[in-house]
Structure 1
Amino acid sequence: MIEKDLKISNIKGLLIFLVVFGHLIELYKGNYYQIFVLIYAFHMPLFIFISGFLAKRATVSKIINFFILYIIFQSFFDWYLYFIGDYKTLQFHFGKPQFHLWYIVSMIFWYALAWGIHWLRPGKVGKTIIFLIVFALGFYSRWYTEPVVEFIKEIYPNFTSYTLSFQRTISFAPFFFAGFFISKNKLRMIYESIPESIAKGLLAVTAAAVILYIQYTPNLESLFRGSFGMERFLNEGESYYAKIMLHYLLSGWLCLLILTSVKGERSVLTKWGDHSITIFLFHPVFVFLLRRTEFMADWKADTQFIVYFGFAILISALLGSNVFSKISIFVTSPLTTLKKLTSVVIRKKKYSAD
């Protein structure tokens, strides 16, 4: 078992807050598009890197747990969107993950591959080869997204690059397996690679430069989301290789700066990080409701931004609380719940037989 790392908990806390905040400002993202795209440049890559690091001992049980989790929450949000009036009819569809649930679907595939790799126990050379293959697939995948989609459509007409998180799973796989293959000692070396004060300064400078770049470069959102083929983000005269390297290098650089600048001391972020799965799974309840009401549609952009920031704090604090975590654990750890229920049923049958 991996020893608790407060820095990882704090980083997860920061990232899950940015997930909530990013989804909130997405409702009116045209007002603060540069900040929105900047968040997308690194928050999921770093989350996925940490998920890979924590998947050292991937098991079949964890894969099954993710699968059940997806079925439960996909069904719930299908119903919830019907309940609040977004859907005219109640319909359940599992091929296209709702909103945030693409990540759970991708985790199923990544964990399955991680489990297979762990079972094979490759050496350093083998791990390097596997990572290079994964990186090459991720790097070139968006060149072939449209041809692959069109080919699969011949068999499954409703298939898109969103289906079962197909393209994102491949696009973000290098971040997961970078985390999966890195050792604890090497991760600590990364923590100490840049002094904290310098890292914070570099992060501020990089963020400012990226915001300026986003302002004058269209379609970067489609690049950083990882869901689309090159047709959606490659502008006239641009090189595919340069654009994809921009994604991986910029995301990697921002991830490095956050890994080196976030403190490893207990804070409110620690609790949010420890309960990040609960915040992640439930926060769209509020996002979808706000999207439906549109009560801030006529507000000034600055006011919207401040209110959304406050909402993100409140949502993270509520869903990341110990109380909510205890209440919801039966559904956020469904396999454990099923095992307990099965055990109770078996005991009752045994007592009845006696």
Structure 2
Amino acid sequence: MPGARTPEANDRDLGLDFAKGVLITLVIVGHLIQYVVYRDEGFWESPCFKWIYMFHMPLFMAISGYLSWRALLRKSFTQAIGDRAMQLLLPMLFWYALLETAKLAAFSSSANEPGSVLQFLNDSAGTYWFIWAAFVSFLLVKILSIFNRRSPWILFLSVILVALAPVTFSISPLIRYTFPFFCLGVSFAQSREWWTSITRSHKPLLITFLSIAALVCFLAWRKDTYIYNNLALVHDMQSAKNVLLMLLGSAAASAIVIVLVLQCWKVGRSNRVTRFITVELGQSTLLLYLIQGTVFRLMDSIQYGELWDLTTRLAVAGILGGAIVAVALMVRWIVRDIPYLSQLVLGAPPRSACLKYQPADN
């Protein structure tokens, strides 16, 4: 199409865009399993749900850390934090405002309930917890970079301190769970050649070991292994086993999945489906996450599907998942060239501004 910007125009890593597209698809599928296919506690035992939740958010956070390194290194503290807030928090507030408006319109009685800033922050964090976790992780690592930009020991120490923090308020357990993976991504970006040289020389053995570890963790994974249930707290031997299994399983599964996904990208990069996942989904992950979070949080407020059989639930899940993707792509197409609105809704400047901008760091 004349004048269209190719994916390569801003020097993006399309392999990582493909990985992000696969991961955001799995986020939606995981929520469909939870909210539509299962309407009770049964989703905890679903093999598909278990497989997805072992790695999808940890790997997403690792990729976020890897892609954030440029901003962490090159930008001043105020510019880096301001840009990240505009990218993540501003569109989150927009979609959360839409969510609250929809809830008030559908349930007018809730308009009489008192609210507070604390309640607002808690509700928005619960709905879009990954956005807050990514922002807090970026903030912590940027603060650390002020003192020493390159030392891996500072990152390691910060992971230990965050992991040991006995805080269970709101989404703090989720931050403790994902922060190590963000730091791992930053560390890989810092010392990519060193990491690559180690993995290249022992790649077959390493992949075999990680595959076995991921399989063992998958078989041992139980309801109490999920971060939502164990809160990353250690208070006895069993809770220590649950937390250790969660972290080791997530790390091993994330490593294996990213290797497989990047290999799939190399093999099928010219395929139309692969290109769609890369360009349309992988470069719209923030918007897709915000829209699906809004939809599923709204579904928490309504009754539905009690009498549906499994076939009906699967059909509804497929339709709803397709609708979420279609709406996200339509919204992106409508607002991506409109100044201010693009930043507010998508968390990104208009495409015309992107053409003049240096390679993106997210």
TM-score normalised by L of structure 2: 0.70
> How far apart, CA to CA, are the structure 2 residues paired with 1:324 and 1:37?
36
Please give the per-residue CA displacement for 1:22-75, whole angstroms capped at 9, x wherever unaligned.
222222253443332332221110111111111111313323313433433333
Amino acid at match of 1:60: I
Task: Indicate yes or no: 2:63 matched with 1:50.
Answer: yes
Amino acid at match of 2:238: E
Aligned position for 2:103: 81
* TM superposition shift of 1:181: 1.8
Match of 1:284 among 290, 293, 296: 293
Aligned position for 1:130: 154
Q: Report the more deviating stretch, 285-294 or 41-50.
A: 285-294
> How far apart, CA to CA, are the structure 2 residues paired with 1:44 and 1:311?
21
Aligned position for 1:155: none
With over 3 angstroms needed to count, the CA separation of the structure-2 counterparts of 1:95 and 1:224, relative to structure 1, is: closer
> How far apart, CA to CA, are the structure 1 residues paired with 2:197 and 2:312?
41
With over 3 angstroms needed to count, the CA separation of the structure-2 counterparts of 1:8 and 1:187, relative to structure 1, is: farther
Amino acid at match of 2:184: A
Amino acid at match of 2:333: V
Query: Mind listing any 5+ residue stretches in structure 1 that lack a counterpart?
Result: 150-160, 341-354
Please give the per-residue CA displacement for 1:73-129, whole angstroms capped at 9, x wherever unaligned.
333323332233297226463330434322222222222223334444533xx2x21
> How far apart, CA to CA, are the structure 2 residues paired with 1:15 and 1:86?
36
Contact 1:279 1:316 in 2 (8 A): yes
> How far apart, CA to CA, are the structure 2 residues paired with 1:218 and 1:292?
24
Contact 2:63 2:182 in 1 (8 A): yes
Task: Indicate yes or no: 2:60 matched with 1:60.
Answer: no
With over 3 angstroms needed to count, the CA separation of the structure-2 counterparts of 1:189 and 1:24, relative to structure 1, is: farther
Contact 1:74 1:94 in 2 (8 A): no
Task: Indicate yes or no: 2:44 matched with 1:30.
Answer: no
Aligned position for 2:121: 95
Please give the per-residue CA displacement for 1:181-214, whole angstroms capped at 9, x wherever unaligned.
213546766997757xx979x86x8777555434
Match of 1:116 among 143, 165, 179: 143
Alignment RMSD (CA, Å): 3.7
Contact 1:16 1:279 in 2 (8 A): yes
Aligned position for 1:181: 187
> How far apart, CA to CA, are the structure 2 residues paired with 1:131 and 1:118?
9
* TM superposition shift of 1:218: 3.8
Q: Report the more deviating stretch, 182-191 or 107-116.
A: 182-191
Please give the per-residue CA displacement for 1:208-229, whole angstroms capped at 9, x wherever unaligned.
7555434xx34223x3677464
With over 3 angstroms needed to count, the CA separation of the structure-2 counterparts of 1:185 and 1:259, relative to structure 1, is: farther
> How far apart, CA to CA, are the structure 1 residues paired with 2:182 and 2:99?
26
* TM superposition shift of 1:248: 1.5
Which secondary structure does the structure 2 equivalent of 1:54 belong to? helix
Please give the per-residue CA displacement for 1:155-191, whole angstroms capped at 9, x wherever unaligned.
xxxxxx21xx333223321111110121354676699
Which secondary structure does the structure 2 equivalent of 1:250 belong to? helix
> How far apart, CA to CA, are the structure 1 residues paired with 2:246 and 2:344?
35
With over 3 angstroms needed to count, the CA separation of the structure-2 counterparts of 1:302 and 1:220, relative to structure 1, is: farther
Task: Indicate yes or no: 2:147 matched with 1:104.
Answer: no
> How far apart, CA to CA, are the structure 1 residues paired with 2:199 and 2:315?
32
Amino acid at match of 1:179: G
TM-score normalised by L of structure 1: 0.71
Aligned position for 2:325: 316
With over 3 angstroms needed to count, the CA separation of the structure-2 counterparts of 1:69 and 1:186, relative to structure 1, is: farther
* Aligned length in residues: 305
Matches for 1:220-231 after TM superposition, within 5 Å: 220-221=225-226, 223=227, 227=231, 229-230=233-234
Please give the per-residue CA displacement for 1:236-269, whole angstroms capped at 9, x wherever unaligned.
x5251x3322122110111111111112224222
Amino acid at match of 1:62: D
With over 3 angstroms needed to count, the CA separation of the structure-2 counterparts of 1:167 and 1:2, relative to structure 1, is: farther
* TM superposition shift of 1:293: 4.8
Contact 2:232 2:243 in 1 (8 A): no
* TM superposition shift of 1:325: 5.9
Contact 1:13 1:274 in 2 (8 A): yes
Task: Indicate yes or no: 2:252 matched with 1:253.
Answer: yes
> How far apart, CA to CA, are the structure 1 residues paired with 2:245 and 2:297?
32
Which secondary structure does the structure 1 equivalent of 2:282 belong to? helix
